[in-house]
Amino acid sequence: MITVYGANISPFVRKVRVFLAEKHIAYKLEPVNPFTAGSDYRKISPLGRIPAFQDDKTTLADSSVICAYVERTNPQPVLYPMDAVAYARALWFEEYGDGGLAPIFGGEIFRQRIVIPLFFKQQGDEAMAQKAIAEKLPPLFDYLEGQIGEKAFLVGDQLSIGDLGIATQFVNLHHAGVTPDSQRWPQLARYIASIHERPSFKAVIEEEEAGLKKAK
Ligand SMILES: N[C@@H](CCC(=O)N[C@@H](CS)C(=O)NCC(=O)O)C(=O)O
């Protein structure tokens, strides 16, 4: 049995969970709060971050490493395109999510509006969130609007790690009350809504919404 370690509201934990769901692989989610985890947790996640992963062969840390490993151990359905250029583009979109969207969606918006008030019982910096929404989201959304166009998926004609890496970040934004304006970014709004409608995303989004409702 596979174990995924982490908290369900982490976009990186969610990426792994959705990836496993798309592969129809069963797993157990072992709750870990990275900010309070003991030193033992560093044996499987040396940087102390979530997610971490364990199967009968190995332990791993980092969502990108975990997904790449699972692709090798469970190649179907293919989530990393075979064609070299398509493969690189899928990795690029995953990185655009991890390295480009996460610091802003997570640190400047989700953290201020959800994590700090709900879990630290303090007031978040709403001015920081508003500024990020007004100034930092538009260029990120403009790029994605241009990349997705009228297509269903970012790379080729099937779901890839690129779609999962982008769409997982938009779940945190959704929890923080922000979705792309469908007048200004019609293709992006349509695309994100359709990926979030997939059973893999729908299940975790509903679970997270129930947890956040309870925490309020
Ligand atoms: N590159 C890592 C990033 C993981 C990450 O930053 N996780 C956050 C939670 S969303 C974390 O564990 N933060 C705690 C820390 O950095 O100490 C991945 O893809 O798994």
Tens digit of pLDDT for each residue in 109-155? Answer: 999 999 999 999 999 999 999 999 999 999 999 999 999 999 999 99
Residue 190 Cα, ligand 1 centroid: separation in angstroms? Answer: 28
Q: Which of 15, 49, 69, 104 to mutate to test the pocket of ligand 1 (most atoms within 8 A of CB)?
A: 49
CB atoms within 10 A of CB 78: 12
Question: In this model, does residue 6 exceed pLDDT 90?
Answer: yes
Question: In this model, does residue 207 exceed pLDDT 90?
Answer: yes
The pocket around ligand 1, CB under 6 angstroms, is made up of 10, 12, 34, 48-51, 62-64, 98
Local confidence band at 75 (pLDDT 50, 70, 90 cut-offs): very high
Q: Which atom of ligand 1 sits closest to the CA of residue 62? A: 20
User: Rounded distance, CA 42 to CA 38, Å?
Assistant: 8
Give the residue, by CA position, lying nearest to ligand 1 atom 2.
62
Give the residue, by CA position, lying nearest to ligand 1 atom 16.
49
**DSSP per-residue letters across the chain:** -EEEES-TT-HHHHHHHHHHHHTT--EEEE---TTT--GGGGGT-TT--S-EEE-SS-EEESHHHHHHHHHHHS-SS--S-SSHHHHHHHHHHHHIIIIIIHIIIIIIIIIIIIIIIIIS-S---HHHHHHIIIIIHHHHHHHHHHHHTT-SSSSTTS--HHHHHHHHHHHHHHHTT----TTTSHHHHHHHHHHHTSHHHHHHHHHHHHHHHHH-
Residue 51 Cα, ligand 1 centroid: separation in angstroms? Answer: 7
Token pair for 120: 């630290």
User: Rounded distance, CA 179 to CA 188, Å?
Assistant: 10
State mean pLDDT over 177-194: 98
Residue 50 Cα, ligand 1 centroid: separation in angstroms? Answer: 5
Residue 110 Cα, ligand 1 centroid: separation in angstroms? Answer: 14
Output the average pLDDT for the chain.
98
Q: Which atom of ligand 1 sits closest to the CA of residue 66? A: 20
Give the residue, by CA position, lying nearest to ligand 1 atom 12.
49
Residue in the structure block whose two tokens are 């179907």: 76
Residue 45 Cα, ligand 1 centroid: separation in angstroms? Answer: 10
User: Rounded distance, CA 151 to CA 180, Å?
Assistant: 17
Whole-model pTM over 0.95: yes
Closest C-alpha among 156, 182, 155, 178 to residue 166: 155
* pLDDT, tens only, 19-59: 999 999 999 999 999 999 999 999 999 999 999 999 999 99
Residue 49 Cα, ligand 1 centroid: separation in angstroms? Answer: 4
Which amino acid, one-letter code, is at 96? Y
- The predicted pLDDT at position 216 comes to 87
Torsion of CA 106, 10, 176, 149, to 10 degrees: 80
